[in-house]
Structure formats: structure tokens, C-alpha cells
Amino acid sequence: MQQTHAVHALRAAKVRKTPLAAALAFAVFAVAAPAAHADPIAQLQSEINALNAKLQALENAEKTPEVVAPTPTPQNNSGVVMTPTRSEILSGSEYVTKGTIPGSFLVPGTKTSVYLGGFVNFQGIYDPTENLGPKFSIGNLTPPGSSSRQQSHGTFHAQDKVSRMIFRTDTPSSYGDVTTNISMDFYGYTAGGDNNQALQNNNWGSRIVYAYGTIGNWLVGQANSNFQDNVDQGETFDNAGPSGVPGGHTPQIRYTLPLGKGQQASFSIENPQTGYQDTRDNIEVATKTNLFPDITARYQRGGDWGHVQVSGVIRELGFTDDTGKRWSKWDGAGIVGATLNLPDGKGGYTQDNAGFQAWYGAMGRYIPDDFGANVASVLAVNDGTTAGIGASAIEVQPDTGLTVYAQHWWTPTLRSNLALGLNKQSLASFVPADSQNAVKTETVHVNLIEQPVPSLDLGIEFMWGRKTFQSSTGLAPANARRVEFGGIWHF
């Protein structure tokens, strides 16, 4: 009974915030008073010890933190656990949290992930032979001995017009993820060309690079052509890259079919465009009539070992002459490419890799003309030299090309790339001699790139190129060289 009174006294003291010493004295009194006539001092000491033990237990219980149910760990749409950021831990559901796209955030109150990023690209360029513009566009090389080539001998220039802004969203739905991608750079067309700018302001024109949306397996809008092979290419600082490598952004409707084990097939209809040159000395003119979209198909497979792709395009190439008669030909082109990562000897793979990409056929618009040769002229038109007589024949001018590349990592942050490119165009026999035409272009790119932090690449690149002209021009091949240095700041 005495112990019970003492414990009640201690608990009451805690509730009333009574000082601990006073509570202890009261408890001792509660025990000692009834026991004074019945027991010696030893019994009182024993009671005090017992009360001290209970008091210690109560104090320990007071220091134990309250148990709070943990906040559920966030997951993405695939059920993958996502590590919460500091803002997520502190703020709960009222503030921005991590989205499903790497580096994105969820818009409060919605399931939409938003990503804003891009990069700043600075390039300092020295052309000891001829200024070919922001890209090493070997197809634009002028013939040996031309006045423009002599006047531009030895030129330094700098530009950052391929810097890019990227805005992406991702929203889950019962039909699959709904995504958007809008990307812009500053490589837009400007009157007078790159070398006739108001350089005191260094103004460049903005342009849309990507503008598309997806829902499930469907893509609609402007994206990289489904026909081209973006993976199997060498890494270059130069914007053009190896000679002739197919590329381009085009409006399209695409369906992608996952096949499992890193495989997928995709099919698209894409915006058509037929470029031509004729016997009236017109080069790279786009026809006004294209009745059918380009139809593409692609198969690709990837894994730790690397990547492989096979793709093709079927095109209706049309031309309407000046009498109103429409000429057309159905033709196509194909690409095959592969990249292999080198084994590390331990059952895995290193960062070192090597690969190739080869193409043949009616490439036309899928090989931009600043990659070399006038390959936008997929058709050659024999329409005489006098207006009003119409065309007598049209002929497809196919391209044959190859790029081979390798990448080696010297250290975890330092790498080098070597990329070789060759593109050859079969011009129609009736096409008149023109110094702008090239039947073959060749390039070599070699670089050294350091990545001091994950968001920054700094490097230097050396380039060599050769342009071979039509034999009917009597012009000898022309060579060009370039040294480029710069950096890419990712954000």
C-alpha cells in the first residue's frame, strides 16, 4: 500500500509539473509515516530504493519519442521505389515532389511530371583553309583556286547557336503514359546566311527541334525520323558529324511495338519532300506536289552488349513540270547499324565501344545537304534548257554511305572518339556540270573530351575533309581542315 501511494504521488507530480525533489520527499513521507512504528531504518531505505527505480522508469518513458506512422514511400508508374528528396520529407503533399521523368517534379495536385532542361553549347572554331560555317559542311567546300576560298583563308569564329531548351511532361493514363516534348535551339534560318549577321549583337534565329506528344505506343508530331539511326553514331563536337550520316527532324505519326528482351519495332508515316535538280541548272529545289507520305519501318535491339538496328523507307518521288504534267517514281532506302561495347574480361562490358552505320538508296531529305554533297536532289529532271517544253525524263539519284567509329575512355572522366565518314552520290548522266555538285565527300573527326563534373563536357576536336566534284567539271578534289574547342553545359 505504501508503494502504491508513493507511485501515485510521483505521477501526480508529473502531471502538475511539481519539482522532482518535492515529489520525491512527498513519496518518502508517504512511505515512512506509516512504517515508523513498525520497521527499522533499513526497511525505509529499501522502500526508497524501490521508489527510485520506479522514478527512473517513468523518466525513461517520458524521453521515448512518440511513434508516428511512416509516410508511404513514393513509387513511379512502374512500381519502382523512388528515394524521397529533402523537400519531399519536409513538406509532405503540399509542395512539389519528384516526378517520373529523371530530374522532373510533380505539379501539385496533379499526376503530371514536368521537366525543364537543356544545354549551353559554346564552340570556338579555326578554319586554316576555308570558312565552312558553324558546321564542318564539307559539301559546301568551294573549288580550289576560287576567289571565295582565297578570301576566307585562315578564319576564327565562335558560335553557340546549337544551345537548346527542352520542356517535357509525363502524365499517366488508362491508355498509357501521355507525354509531350518541345525543344528549341537557335539554329534557325537568317537572311544572308551565317557570315552576314549583325555580329555586334550575335543574333541567331530560334527554331523548333522537337514538338511531339505520345500516348501509349503512339507518337504524333515533329521528332527524329523513325528511319534514321541515332544510336549507332560516333560522338563529335562538330554539329554535322561524319559525312553523310542520315538525320533530320520531321513531322510524323509513329507506332512502336515492344517485342521483349530489349527489342522493338516501329512504323511511321512522315512528311514527304522531294528535292530535285534539272538541266536548267536548278539545284536542291523542292517540288510542290507530294501525294503520299514517306512510309518507314525500323527494328532495333539493345542491351549491355550494345545496339543493332535495321530500318527502311519507301517514298513516292514526284515532280510536276512547267506544262502541268506530273512525273513520279516509287523508290526506297535502307540503313543498317550496330555498336558493340568491349568486354571487360569479367563477364561484363567496359565503356569502350566501336560501331558502324551504312546506308543506300533514295535518301534525299534524310541526308541534310550540309553533311556533304547536294543529296537533297534525290531526283534529276531532264527538262531541257528552255521553259515551256516540259520534262522528258526523271531519274533517281541514290546515295551510298558508311561511317565507322570508336570510343576509348582513358580515365573515368576522359575519353576520345574517332569517326570516319564517306558518302557517294550517283548523279544522272544528263545533269549539267556544276561546281556545287559533289559525287563524294569524306571526313575524319578525332577529339579529346574531359568531363570534370557530370553536367559539363570540355573538349577539342580536329577535322579533315575532302570533296570530289563531278568529273565533267574538270575540278580536282578540294580538302579542308578545322580545329574546334568548346564545352557543353547541361542543366
pLDDT tens for 173-202 read 999 999 999 999 988 766 555 555 545 566
User: Sorting pLDDT into bands at 50, 70 and 90, what band is 232?
Assistant: very high
Q: Tell me the average pLDDT across 245-261.
A: 94
* pLDDT tens figures, 55-112: 676 666 555 544 444 444 444 444 444 444 443 444 445 566 888 888 898 888 889 9
Residue with the bigger pLDDT between 6 and 118: it is: 118
- C-beta separation of 316 from 396 below 8 A: no
User: Sorting pLDDT into bands at 50, 70 and 90, what band is 456?
Assistant: very high
User: Sorting pLDDT into bands at 50, 70 and 90, what band is 377?
Assistant: confident
Rounded CA separation 178/176 (Å): 6
Where are the alpha helices (H) located in 36-143, listed in sequence order?
Answer: 41-63, 86-91
Which three cell numbers, joined as nine digits, stand for 101? 521523368
Q: Tell me the average pLDDT across 443-463.
A: 97
Residue with the bigger pLDDT between 167 and 147: it is: 167
Q: Which of 362, 430, 437 is nearest to 396 (CA)?
A: 362
pLDDT number for residue 120: 95
Q: How many residues does the chain have?
A: 491
Where are the alpha helices (H) located in 181-230, listed in sequence order?
Answer: none
Confidence check: pLDDT of 351 > 70: yes
Q: Tell me the average pLDDT across 255-280.
A: 94
Confidence check: pLDDT of 289 > 50: yes
Confidence check: pLDDT of 311 > 60: yes
Residue with the bigger pLDDT between 121 and 27: it is: 121
Q: Tell me the average pLDDT across 146-163.
A: 77
Instruction: Look over the chain and give the mean of its residue pLDDT values, rounded to a whole number.
Output: 83
Confidence check: pLDDT of 126 > 90: yes
Confidence check: pLDDT of 486 > 50: yes
- C-beta separation of 112 from 179 below 8 A: no
DSSP code, position 197: S
User: Sorting pLDDT into bands at 50, 70 and 90, what band is 437?
Assistant: confident
Q: Tell me the average pLDDT across 384-396.
A: 90
Q: Which of 35, 155, 179 is nearest to 99 (CA)?
A: 179
Read off the pTM.
Answer: 0.77
Rounded CA separation 413/409 (Å): 8
User: Sorting pLDDT into bands at 50, 70 and 90, what band is 54?
Assistant: confident
3-state secondary structure of 449: strand
